[in-house]
Amino acid sequence: MTGATELIAAHAALVRAGGQNVPSPCLSVCRMSPASELCEGCFRTLDEIAAWSRMGDDDKRAVWALIAQRAEAAA
């Protein structure tokens, strides 16, 4: 795994463990991959990035679950 992929996978595991105040997965890379249409840093779609601040914790955890799957597939 690359450094960013390892970092995002570790954060995804922490989010799955529970707790409140689900953190943003943003790593300040902010570059979209034309092939996957995902951010190369946080593995989110543009729609997920745009909606993040309006999401509840359950929805954020659902996005984190998708991020974990995407990071694993990218490894």
**In a structure prediction context, what are the per-residue pLDDT tens digits for the chain, which is 75 residues long?**
567 777 777 777 777 666 668 899 999 999 999 999 999 999 999 999 999 999 999 999 999 999 999 998 988
How many whole angstroms separate alpha carbon 52 and alpha carbon 44?
10
How many whole angstroms separate alpha carbon 2 and alpha carbon 48?
22
The Cα angle at residue 69 between residues 65 and 73, in degrees rounded to 5: 165
Domain of residue 42 covers: 3-74
Q: 72 near 64, Cβ under 8 Å?
A: no
Strand partners, 32: 39
| Domains: count for the chain | 1
